[in-house]
Chain A
Amino acid sequence: MAAPGPGEYFSVGSHVSCLTCLGQRLQGEVVAFDYQSKMLTLKCAPSSGKPNLHDVILINLAYVSDVDIIHDRTETPPPLASLNVSKLANRARSEKEDKLSQAYAISAGVSVEGQQLFQTIHKTIKDCRWQEKNIIVMDDVIITPPYQAENCKGKEGSALSHIRKIVEKHFRDVESQKSMPRSQAQQTQKDSTLSS
């Protein structure tokens, strides 16, 4: 390969910033760069602000301008570790199913509150799904619209009480964030999810 000239080559670990053709400013640490495809991958601070998480941005340098190398890194990048492909595949499948499930629920006319509650519960308990407009948690508890704590029905037990607590907390959080932008509220949810 021809030795990349300035601006053509990014060493791993370097911090760069650029401006996309869409006017979006991006900055992050170079994780990978493919010269042929002009694809640059940056690792940025997580949008959720959670530790151990990152935002990964794949940039097509063909549509980028103003590429600046904030500071270069000459150290040898750490070796790569093998990846558990099956785990990744499972994650892809589950994400896909979640999205579809959510899409079905939305298609069924579930209220936004319901969707939010579902997402909140799903963060804690993976075993939840939509059945029409009802949320089925662990095949044991059914939450019917309007998705309040009193709408949780099922066999009395720790499961039911636990889910009621989640629901109560969810709406409490929602109330506390009502004044806040919706995005923030979502972010808080994400945060909680991440933290969990």
Chain B
Amino acid sequence: MSRYITRLRMRRAYKWNGRPVSKDRKLKRQYYESMSISVEGKTEDVTVSLGQYILIEGDDDDNPFVAQLLKLYTDDSGKKKTAVVQWFVRMCEVPQNKRKLLGRDPHPQEIFFYQDRSCDNEVDGETILGAVQIEYVPVEDPFPKGKSKGILFVKLLWDTKSFRALNPELMQPPQSSKSPPPSSHGTQTRALPTPDLSVMKRAMSGILTRGSMSTGKMSSSEAESLHSASKLSAAKALSAKRRSRAVSGPHVRKKLDLCSPSKNMTRDDVLGEILDEHTEKTLTSKLNTSPTGRISISIRLTRLNLNEEECVSPLSSHSPDKPRLTAYDKDDATRARTPSRRKDALREPALAALAEEEHEYSPVQTAATPCSKRKSAQLESSRIRKQLNLLGNTVDLQSDGEDGDDDDCFVPAKIDLQSSSDEEEEAKIDSEDELIVKKRRGSGTSRSTEKTRVSARTPRKTPSKKTAPATPRTPRHATPSIPSRSAPAKKPGNVLEEARVSCQKLQETTVLLVDELDLLWTRKQNVMYNLFDWPTRRNARLVVLTIANTMDLPERIMINRVASRLGLTRMSFQPYTFKQLQQIITSRLNRVKAFEEDALQLVSRKVAALSGDARRCLDICRRATEICEHSGSQKNSSGLVGMSHVMEALDEMFSSSYIAAIRCASVQEQLFLRAVIAEFRRLGLEEATFQQVFVQHQALCRVEGLQPVNVSEGLTVCQRLGSCRLLLLEGSRLDLFLRIRLNVSQDDVLFALKAD
């Protein structure tokens, strides 16, 4: 699971050392040689300078990213510090399935020179943690022994496909003449003093990437190769894993940031492809006309499903990078299921019914349900359409649906599609992709697994601060960060505004997903107002997606100014039809033959007729398998869950308990109920006072030949019925004048009483 945001973090302050060494007028940049980092609570500052090896903050505090510092610069505002680096990878960042390629066990302190031209090498300067010592060890030499743990060794080069011997020249800092010898380690092995051309070029490319808008010099082919594969695919799996543990704090993401006009052609092609896959083809034309089309990837996978793999894999063949992704998905899938797997291990092999029960119940994840898929496509198309048409500005989507209708469930699937298409796109062309997904849940359930999934698909990008998802409990808490006790909480509005501004600074498109919207309701509706107001602002780059289970939520609770800011896209989720329910069960069963066909149909038809709640449907199946399991041990030949079991489960869940309760009530209680009905009939009203009923009760007692009860006993009987809610009563202090109403229909009562 995740670490918690509440954990205290050290604050670091970053400062340039000395004056800028050079200046680029065109790019408005000032280059520096070194930077000092002062950590709160420590007296000594750490200085990092060009050529030195550094640690960069990642998702995993124990294994930060390693890189060599190539360049340091600031933009003209002087606020944003950027570093250009050469990456190194740890073994754990290499994808699982490629680790074997090494052919031996890696040394615990071993790292690899990372050669992947597609990987972005610009990071936010403020993610640098400090310096680290790296030693080059020639391929044939053994690893030196007895060195301190802090030293890392580099022997080989990893180019995302294979391990190769590393030319020590590559380790050479590009501008050795300028860079002062690293302060912390003098013994560094550095073979050649001359700058290496290829490294220089690589170092420069990062800058060019950023500058390509203004310079426009870069050939499209070069740019393409730079961005074709998503960065550090190797690290994807790792970063997912890391994130599953570490959630809080700024995450490292490597950003692919390019908005070059020369790419329009390619983008259109690929979008066309996507649309073929997922949406209407007609969109393509619209895409072509959009001047500042911007595609956002939003990656949030709440739940995992098997179908999902299928929808990813066809796409994944586009780039050499992709197979890894799918491989990882599988990995993730198995991992996500472990809680239920554990049961397998623990449980002795049992009936087929049992096994199936687990599949079906392991509540892990909702498959991309039929309905969801349809919605996903719809949603995606509308998203793209809107984004491109409305100058890349905004969409508000609101989805309403019954609970258990999967209005929740569809989202992951949808975003998944989106992400898969976008990833493909990312692979094929270089469009600007960015994402932040923040999830807010009204009443707040943070599912731990969610976090894992988010990261599962989030490619590692340029380090930048990412607001950690928080789950608000009240509208007041619907703020991005959690105030610590020491620092007084800011006003929610301000915090939200700040978060928004900071997102904007990052030039990212943000998808804001708000679940259980109705719980964010406040009297002044400030939270909702702000929420829907942001996307309407200029340059907001925000998609607000809200989920609620009330169909007419906007009409019912929103005041005009909020309602008018709401986008027009509203998607209502009808209760599932029986076909869809059937499909859901089948997909959950995962091809295990456990139910008779008729039984399945009965369940889904029954539920569809009542509520269409998918959860309820699965619960019934679960109960039916339990019943089957118990009866099956005696005789049952087929071992399948049959009609009788399902019927029994249905009866259990849907039968009203009132009648049973009345039948089992004591004689006096039954008499009292009868008296209530008699009194109602006499009065012609549905309400009577205790005194009136009591008179009837005593008369009935005499008729039945029982000793009449006194008032105290009568009241006791009355209160007991009231506590079961067979009767609705006023406060007992009213005594004789307490008013009585029936909570069951008179017919039910009479039916129950007549039967015995």
- The answer on A and B forming one complex is no
